[in-house]
């Protein structure tokens, strides 16, 4: 419920504070007094675009603030949580500022917010029905919402919404897999060739180092042979080898080692040297025999090195180890391509199952809507008649539109669908006898749109969650008995909703539980808009003005009292 509205430096308003109550209340005043200015302030708090011209002349900025009292509301709680906005208990405060340069700021519970956030939140809090803006009936996408509220389809639509999201997720995943498969198939031959090429190369991460060592030996085999042969000849195998000379020396020392112990020690050391020399010589002899002179193998090694180097450059890697990893990656990709068909088949089967459920639920929802639409049409036409639209013919058009991308499919035909199922719902109206049904915005005036909305709200008052309704100039084109009936409708809705109405008709104003008088005054050469909550006597005077003009007669006073007594306000 809108508890308080504060308006500062807005057009002709210097500083106003209005305390609203629950139930049906009215704003009255002469034409041009500024009633619609107040509704305009509410509109800006609902996210409408503002301009610098709205700032009162001589002021830096306009400040608008609304305080709402909110009971437990899941939609509001979810909105505040999603947008990280603090909760102030049962109080919700909206503020909007527009400076003289046209720059705008918005706040929700003192948290800076965007106009879209403000608009989304106030869409839960308030329905604002003016002559030109916030007329939800002009937007076809809202028609289904009203019909569904009347049909109490919330649970079925929640179920459908979950299925619809699953359908879209699976459909997008299927498209993604098909695209990947297509791209992968285009590369399949390349991947296969590359994997086979690397497989044929029979790569080993240690091979290159081994090849380099073997190549070094083969390239230097002659030098190695000469070194081994030299060592073998000089130390071991020739007649003048070191080994023979050492043996002779040992024989000489053997003759004297028992004479002098120092010679014995010398013989021992020389014996050790002889063993070492003999071993080195024999090893050199063996190495000489093992040395390979193999130009063919050397060429093979060079070719293999060249092959590995070429593969490293071709696949833009730095080592054999990275080549092996690339080979593993190619094999994994080829294996994944082979599994795409299985994954795609599984998704297609799942999608068919979801679509079957969607189809059935869409048909069931559509049938409920069609049944309820005929009842709504009947109720609407009766209500519109009581609201002075005697020739009105209200109709609900429900159609299915073919769409090759639609989620709902019946008899091999796909239909346009959304989270609200497949029905395309539109309210049509004819306001004159003999005229065909047409779209609302093409045949209805602002006042007529407001009365059509009033009829809907009176029918939906028990199911619509929006608590605060604001109507601007809803009484256009009616008077007398019809005005009394319209007032009765407002009074009826006011039993369960907060209703704020701008009216010129005493028959409507007298039935409100609270009345505000809006007046434009002149002070120090400037015009100001003032508003006042009226007491009983002031209401009698104000309603008398509505009945008879500025010059209030005794008869007008009596009629005003009678209207208020009939309405049992006091």
Say if 348 falls within a structural domain. Answer: no
Question: What's residue 477's pLDDT?
Answer: 66
Same domain, 528 and 539: no
- For residue 213, pLDDT over 50 is answered with yes
Check pLDDT > 50 for residue 1.
yes
pLDDT of residue 132 exceeding 70: no
- Three-state SS for 530? strand
Contact indicator for 124, 76 with CB cutoff of 8 Å:
yes
Q: Are both 558 and 477 inside the same structural domain? A: no
Domain co-membership, 224 together with 122: no
One domain for residues 569 and 487: no
d(C-alpha 215, C-alpha 301), whole Å: 7
| One domain for residues 8 and 124 | yes
Residues 503 and 551 in one domain: no
pLDDT digits (tens, 9 = 90+) for 229-288: 888 888 888 888 888 888 888 888 888 888 888 888 888 888 898 899 889 888 888 888
Higher pLDDT, 237 or 490: 490
What's the rounded Cα separation, in Å, for the pair 297 and 301?
A: 6
Q: Residues in the chain, how many?
A: 570
Mean pLDDT on 289-317: 86
Q: Is 198 helix (H, G, I), strand (E, B) or coil?
A: helix
Residue pair 25/513 in contact by the 8 Å Cβ criterion: yes
145 CB-near residues (< 8 Å, 6+ apart): none
Distance CA 2, CA 124 (A): 12
Asked whether 263 and 256 are in contact (CB, 8 A), the reply is yes
User: Do residue 15 and residue 42 come from a single domain?
Assistant: yes
Task: Answer for the pair 211, 305: CB distance below 8 angstroms, yes or no.
Answer: yes
pTM of the model: 0.61
Could you tell me the CATH number of the domain that includes residue 17?
Answer: 3.40.50.300
CA distances from 369 to 276, 303, 417, 462, 475 (A): 109, 80, 15, 18, 31
Domain extent, residue 480, equals 1-130+473-533
Half-sphere exposure of 47 (CA within 13 A, CB side): 18
Does 398 map to a domain? no
Q: Is 312 helix (H, G, I), strand (E, B) or coil?
A: helix
Q: Within a domain: residue 335?
A: no
> Whose CA is closest to 92, among 115, 67, 116, 72?
67
The candidate with the shortest Cα–Cα distance to 82, out of 50, 124, 46, 45, is: 124
Contact status, residue 519 vs residue 532, Cβ threshold 8 Å? yes
What stretch of H or E contains 537?
helix 536-548
- pLDDT digit string, tens, across residues 10-61: 999 999 999 999 999 999 998 888 888 898 899 899 888 888 889 998 899 9
Residue 245 half-sphere exposure toward CB, CA atoms < 13 A: 9
Q: Are 334 and 191 in contact (CB under 8 A)?
A: yes
CB 373 within 8 A of CB 147: yes
Domains: count for the chain = 3
Residue 491 DSSP class: H
- Is position 525 within any domain? yes
Is residue 418 in some structural domain?
A: no
- As a dihedral over the C-alpha atoms of residue 118, residue 122, residue 124, residue 127, rounded to 10 degrees, the angle is -150
Q: Are residues 477 and 556 in the same domain?
A: no
Find the mean pLDDT for residues 349-362: 92
Mean local confidence (pLDDT), 197-216: 85
Asked if 201 and 308 count as a contact pair (C-beta separation under 8 A), the reply is yes
Q: Pairing between strand 514-523 and 24-28?
A: parallel
* Shared-domain flag, residues 212 and 314: yes
> What is the β-pairing status of strands 526-533 and 438-439?
unpaired
pLDDT, position 93? 94
Does residue 482 share a domain with residue 569?
Answer: no
Residue 282: which residues within 8 A CB-CB, separation 6 or more?
236
Which phi and psi angles does 404 have, rounded to 5°?
A: -60, -20
- Tokens representing 142 are 């809202």
CA atoms of 199 and 10, how far apart (whole Å): 80
Closest CA to 368 of 113, 148, 134, 89: 148
> What are the structure tokens assigned to 250, written together?
């040992």
Mean pLDDT of 330-338: 79
Same domain, 485 and 569: no
Q: What is the DSSP string of 243-296?
A: HHHHHHHHHHHHTTTTT-HHHHHHHHHHHHHHHHHHHHHHHHHHHHHH----HH
Q: Is the pLDDT of residue 193 over 60?
A: yes
Residues 119, 217 within the same domain: no
Q: How many other C-beta atoms can be found within 10 angstroms of the C-beta atom of residue 110?
A: 11
Domain finish residue from 293, 318, 343:
318
Residue 452 covered by a domain: no
Sign of the torsion angle spanned by Cα atoms 388, 393, 399, 401:
negative
Question: What's the rounded Cα separation, in Å, for the pair 240 and 234?
Answer: 7
| Eight-class DSSP state of 71 | -
% of the chain exceeding 90 in pLDDT: 35
Question: What CA–CA distances, in Å, run from 27 to 35, 92, 488, 570?
Answer: 7, 24, 17, 18
CA distances for 511 relative to 27, 49, 306, 538, angstroms: 12, 34, 101, 15
Asked whether residue 414 is domain-assigned, the answer is no
134 confidence band (pLDDT: 50, 70, 90): very low
- For residue 65, the tally of other CB atoms under 10 A from its CB is 18
Output the six-digit token pair for 145. 């919402």
Domain C-terminal end among 292, 318, 344: 318
DSSP letters, 141-183, are: GGHHHHHHHHHT-HHHHHHHHHHHHHHHHHHHHHHHHHHHHHH
Q: Where does the pLDDT of residue 434 fall: very low under 50, low under 70, confident under 90, or very high at 90 and above?
A: confident
The span from the CA of 96 to the CA of 42, in Å, is 10
Domain boundary among 269, 300, 318: 318
Domain presence at residue 254: yes
- Among 72, 111, 108, 74, which Cα is nearest to 92's? 108
């Amino acid at each position: 419920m809108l508890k308080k509205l504060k308006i500062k430096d807005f057009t002709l308003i210097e500083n106003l504070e209005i305390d609203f109550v629950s139930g049906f209340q009215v704003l009255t005043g002469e034409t041009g007094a500024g009633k619609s200015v107040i509704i305009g302030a509410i509109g800006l708090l609902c996210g409408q675009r503002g301009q610098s011209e709205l700032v009162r002349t001589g002021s830096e900025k306009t400040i608008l603030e609304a305080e709402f009292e909110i009971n437990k509301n899941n939609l509001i709680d979810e909105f505040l949580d999603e947008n990280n906005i603090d909760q102030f208990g049962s109080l919700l405060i909206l503020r909007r500022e527009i400076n003289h340069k046209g720059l705008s700021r918005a706040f929700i519970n003192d948290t800076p917010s965007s106009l879209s956030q403000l608009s989304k939140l106030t869409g839960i809090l308030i329905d604002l029905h003016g002559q030109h803006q916030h007329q939800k009936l002009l937007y076809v996408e809202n028609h289904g919402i009203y019909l569904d509220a009347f049909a109490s389809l919330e649970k079925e639509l929640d179920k459908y919404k979950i299925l619809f999201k699953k359908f879209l997720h699976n459909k997008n995943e299927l498209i993604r897999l098909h695209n990947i498969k297509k791209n992968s198939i285009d590369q399949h031959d390349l991947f296969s060739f590359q994997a086979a090429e690397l497989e044929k190369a029979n790569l080993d991460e240690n091979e290159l180092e081994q090849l380099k060592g073997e190549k070094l030996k083969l390239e230097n085999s002659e030098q190695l042979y000469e070194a081994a042969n030299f060592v073998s000849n000089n130390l071991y195998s020739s007649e003048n080898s070191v080994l023979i000379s050492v043996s002779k020396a040992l024989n000489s020392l053997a003759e004297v080692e028992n004479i002098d112990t120092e010679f014995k020690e010398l013989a021992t050391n020389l014996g050790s040297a002889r063993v070492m020399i003999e071993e080195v010589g024999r090893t050199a002899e063996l190495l000489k025999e093992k040395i390979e002179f193999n130009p063919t193998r050397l060429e093979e090694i060079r070719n293999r090195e060249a092959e590995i180097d070429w593969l490293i450059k071709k696949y833009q890697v730095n080592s054999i180890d990275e080549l092996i990893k690339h080979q593993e990656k190619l094999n994994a990709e080829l294996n994944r391509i082979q599994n795409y068909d299985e994954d795609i088949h599984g998704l297609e089967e799942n999608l068919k199952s979801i679509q079957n459920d969607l189809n059935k639920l869409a048909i069931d929802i559509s049938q409920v809507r069609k049944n309820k639409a005929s009842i709504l049409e009947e109720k609407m036409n009766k209500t519109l008649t009581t609201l002075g639209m005697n020739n009105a013919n209200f109709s609900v058009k429900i159609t299915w539109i073919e769409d090759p991308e639609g989620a709902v499919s019946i008899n091999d035909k796909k239909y346009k669908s959304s989270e609200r199922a497949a029905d395309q719902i539109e309210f049509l109206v004819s306001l004159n006898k003999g005229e065909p049904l047409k779209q609302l915005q093409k045949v209805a005036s602002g006042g007529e749109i407001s009365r059509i909305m009033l009829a809907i709200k009176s029918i939906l008052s028990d199911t619509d969650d929006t608590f605060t309704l604001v109507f601007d100039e809803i009484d256009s084109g009616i008077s007398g008995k019809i005005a009394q009936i319209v007032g009765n409708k407002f009074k009826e809705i006011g039993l369960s909703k907060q209703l704020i109405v701008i009216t010129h008709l005493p028959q409507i104003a007298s039935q409100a539980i609270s009345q505000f008088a809006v007046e434009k005054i002149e002070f120090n050469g400037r015009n100001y808009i003032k508003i006042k909550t009226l007491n009983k006597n002031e209401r009698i005077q104000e309603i008398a003005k509505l009945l008879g003009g500025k010059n209030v007669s005794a008869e007008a006073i009596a009629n005003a009292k009678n209207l208020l007594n009939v309405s049992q306000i006091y």
